[in-house]
Amino acid sequence: MGTHLTMKEMPACERPYEKCLESGPESLTDAELMAAIIRTGAKGEGSVDLAKRVLKMSNYDHSILGIHHLSVHDLMKVKGIGKVKAVQIQCIAELTRRMAKATALSSLCFTTPSSISDYYMEDLRHKEQEQLVLVMLNTKSRLIGDKMMTKGTVNASLISPREIFIEAVKKDAVYIVLVHNHPSGDPSPSREDIAVTKRVSEAGKLIGIGLLDHIIIGDNCYVSMKERGIL
């Protein structure tokens, strides 16, 4: 059985705090960054080793992206992770999501598919179920509001254009954009995705609310129905 060093027993150059002060936070590994937050390890185990065990729970090659998929209950299954540490780790995940979204907001343009996908990427790409978000815009294509319309399989039989346009009319929207994710990470549109797009587009023409685009979010990639020529 290997010997696990506590934070104080580690050489100064290997301690996350000292390493961060000496070389900057970018010099820390994913495990060291997490260790700096959770601070203490389990009995007989340092915080860095504990952080490594948390990362090994991930389906993302043991990378820090995996914490987006771990609930408080999941995290508390790891020896040494109690409720406080589990909440801390969840807060790290939420903080990174919000920072990414805030960064995307500065260059947001709802007539540019890449800009829209950047804005919703961190909200949707880690979801394990498909979710459809209705984005509502005014005459200048500026955001009025957005709302999640469905959670689960996004297909033509489950999505009601009536419900979509009821929400759009409530907000006095002139244009809308649909955004949904593919949990597989592959944003290639299915036949159902194309059918949904055409149904909503045709319904919008009848009541004077234009569907500008339907964007499918994958794992750090997207497909725009407008760019594909489907709209």
Question: What are the tokens at 184?
Answer: 């597989």
The burial of 56, by beta-carbon neighbours within 10 Å (0-12 exposed, 13-18 middle, 19 or more buried), is given as: exposed
- pLDDT 10s digit of each residue in the chain, 231 long? 444 545 455 544 457 888 888 888 888 888 888 888 887 777 778 888 888 888 887 665 556 777 777 888 988 888 888 999 889 888 888 888 788 777 766 667 778 899 899 889 988 988 888 999 999 999 988 888 899 987 766 554 457 889 999 999 999 999 999 999 999 999 999 998 999 999 999 999 999 999 999 999 998 899 999 999 998
Q: What is the Rg, in whole angstroms, of the alpha carbon atoms belonging to the chain?
A: 22
- CA–CA separation, 112 and 128 (whole Å): 26
pLDDT computed for residue 201 by the predictor: 96
pLDDT computed for residue 228 by the predictor: 94
The reported pTM is: 0.61
CA angle 168, 174, 179 (to 5 degrees): 60
Are 92 and 119 in a shared domain? no
Strands 210-217 and 175-181 come out as parallel
- CA–CA separation, 111 and 108 (whole Å): 9
pLDDT computed for residue 60 by the predictor: 56
Contact 220, 186 (CB under 8 A): no
- Domain ranges, residue 201: 107-224
Are 150 and 219 in a shared domain? yes
pLDDT computed for residue 146 by the predictor: 92
Are 46 and 111 in a shared domain? no
pLDDT computed for residue 1 by the predictor: 42
| 173 lies in some domain | yes
Are 85 and 128 in a shared domain? no
Question: What are the tokens at 14?
Answer: 């290997």
Residue 23 DSSP label: H
Are 72 and 125 in a shared domain? no
What CATH number does residue 119 fall under? 3.40.140.10
Q: Per-residue b/e over 147-161, b at no fewer than 16 CB within 10 Å?
A: eebbeeebbbeebeb
* Overall residue count recorded for the chain in this entry: 231
Contact 155, 196 (CB under 8 A): yes
Contact 54, 45 (CB under 8 A): no
In the chain, the largest separation of any two C-alpha atoms, in whole Å, equals: 71
| 112 lies in some domain | yes
pLDDT computed for residue 41 by the predictor: 75
Which H or E run contains 48? helix 47-55
